[in-house]
């Protein structure tokens, strides 16, 4: 979910603010199904709409960089508690790969994160990755 930049997820960044504007303008959630009216609104003021989409996307990216490390840590600890440390880490690798797949700058850390043998090593590598990617 976080930082996924497939074409369909990018469409969400364009459509979600549009739905929000439409609901705020009309005061009804049913108005999100009035696609022709929303399209007229975008064509009438494309620059304002693009600024709103850029702001929404920027806020989402900023929130993702703050929330993602905490969520990754919570997820790996929950899996380790449920499956045991070794099996939990082994099963968490596919989730970790999906979390970090589209984040630029994590490639040097990815192999170490995916081959970590205990939670302490994974925590250490996550901390190193956070400081390197954030700066």
pLDDT at 1 (0 to 100): 41
> 113, 126 in Cβ contact below 8 A?
yes
> 129, 106 in Cβ contact below 8 A?
yes
Neighbours of 95 (CB within 10 A): 13
pLDDT at 34 (0 to 100): 75
Q: Which residues 6+ apart lie within 8 Å of 53 measured at CB?
A: 13, 14, 17
Q: Report whether pLDDT(121) > 90.
A: yes
Report CA-CA distances (Å) from 104 to 8, 99, 108, 133.
20, 12, 10, 8
pLDDT at 92 (0 to 100): 92
pLDDT at 2 (0 to 100): 45
Q: Which of 38-47, 62-71, 81-90 has the highest mean pLDDT?
A: 81-90
- DSSP three-state, residue 103: coil
Residues 31-64 have pLDDT tens digits of 767 777 777 877 888 887 777 777 777 766 666 6
Of 91 and 51, more confident? 91
Report CA-CA distances (Å) from 19 to 1, 102, 126.
20, 26, 36
Taking the domains of the chain in order of start, what are their residue ranges?
A: 7-134
**Average pLDDT for 91-114:** 85
Task: Name the pLDDT band for 104 (thresholds 50, 70, 90).
Answer: confident
């Amino acid at each position: 979910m976080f930082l996924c930049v497939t074409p369909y997820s990018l469409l969400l960044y364009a459509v979600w603010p549009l739905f929000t504007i439409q609901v705020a303008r009309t005061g009804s959630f049913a108005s999100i199904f009035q696609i022709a009216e929303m399209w007229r609104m975008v064509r009438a003021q494309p620059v304002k709409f693009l600024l709103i989409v850029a702001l929404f996307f920027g806020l989402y990216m900023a929130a993702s960089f703050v929330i993602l490390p905490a969520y990754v840590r919570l997820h790996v600890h929950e899996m380790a508690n449920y499956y045991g440390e070794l099996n939990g880490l082994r099963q968490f690798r596919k989730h970790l790969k999906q979390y970090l797949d589209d984040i630029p700058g994590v490639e040097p850390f990815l192999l170490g994160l995916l081959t970590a043998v205990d939670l302490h090593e994974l925590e250490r590598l996550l901390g190193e990755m956070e400081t390197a990617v954030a700066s």
